[in-house]
Each structure stands twice: as C-alpha cells, then as structure tokens.
Structure 1
C-alpha cells in the first residue's frame, strides 16, 4: 500500500473551492419558501403517519402516492408531477 492521503488538505481544498460552502445561512429555505412532500404510502422505512407528521410539522404541502421508500423509481410520474407543481409555485 502506498502512503495515506492527507484528508485534511483535501477537505480544505473542497471547502475553499465553493464560496457557498462558507456562506452563513440566515434563514432556512424550508421556512421561507414553499416546500412539498410526497408521502410514499408503502414505505417500510418511514411509515405513513411518521412521514405525515414530519411534513406537517415543517408546514409542507403534502401529496401522496403508492410506492416504497424509493418512490421516485416505482412511481416517477407522480414524483415528476410534484416537482413540476413545486417549480411553478410562487
């Protein structure tokens, strides 16, 4: 095996390459912009009541679809529809 890379210098380079990485967040986007959540009713990782509670707590607009945790794979049209709705929101 060769020498171990210096991860610290890689992290410093990555952080300095993007000014956004050093910007301070003054207001989280989920508080200031409309947010959307697609409840995947067949998700076995996050059950439906938990998904609903999280989305409601964050004040999100909720849509629902059959589908598992990877709802974007099993129901891409529903996911795309929600993205289009969110993108056209004011």
Structure 2
C-alpha cells in the first residue's frame, strides 16, 4: 500500500517510520536538532506547497532516512493510511 503525503508525493507504507505533528514536536530540543541535521544532510523534502503541518520520517534505500514535510495534519495522514489498509 501507499500513502499520499500531499502534492504529488506518494510513499510506500512499509517505508514509513513515523508521522509527527510539526507544531507539537518542534518544541522539543531533540526534534529541532533532528530536523536541523536532516536539513543540513539534504534529506528533507518539502511537499507541502504551503505551511507544513506535519513531517513524515521514512526509510530510504539510498539514505538512512528521508523527512517529508506535508501540509496535511497527522490525523488526515493517519486516516488515509488506515483507510488504505481497510480496502484490502
């Protein structure tokens, strides 16, 4: 199955490590450090097209991890992921 993150970005669900609320998580120092480091490493992809509300951390075959910034909130992404699994 796949999860649509917004814009034209779709990722395989088996690659998803976590879906995080950007507003809630950005208060934590370690999260800010993680996102800053990911940005410096060039593994952050902004697929929001607008103000991002969440970020999705994914496993990647060529990098340790890829971080997608999405304009969708975490509950929307969660609902999409769950509805895709129900289709089976």
- Please give the range of the TM-score, normalised by the shorter of the 2 chains: under 0.3
Higher relative contact order (CA 8 A, sep 6+): 2
TM-score normalised over the length of structure 1: 0.26
Normalised by the length of structure 2, the TM-score is 0.27
The structure with more radius of gyration: 1
Tell me which protein shows more strand as a share of its residues: 2
Which has a greater percent of helix? 1
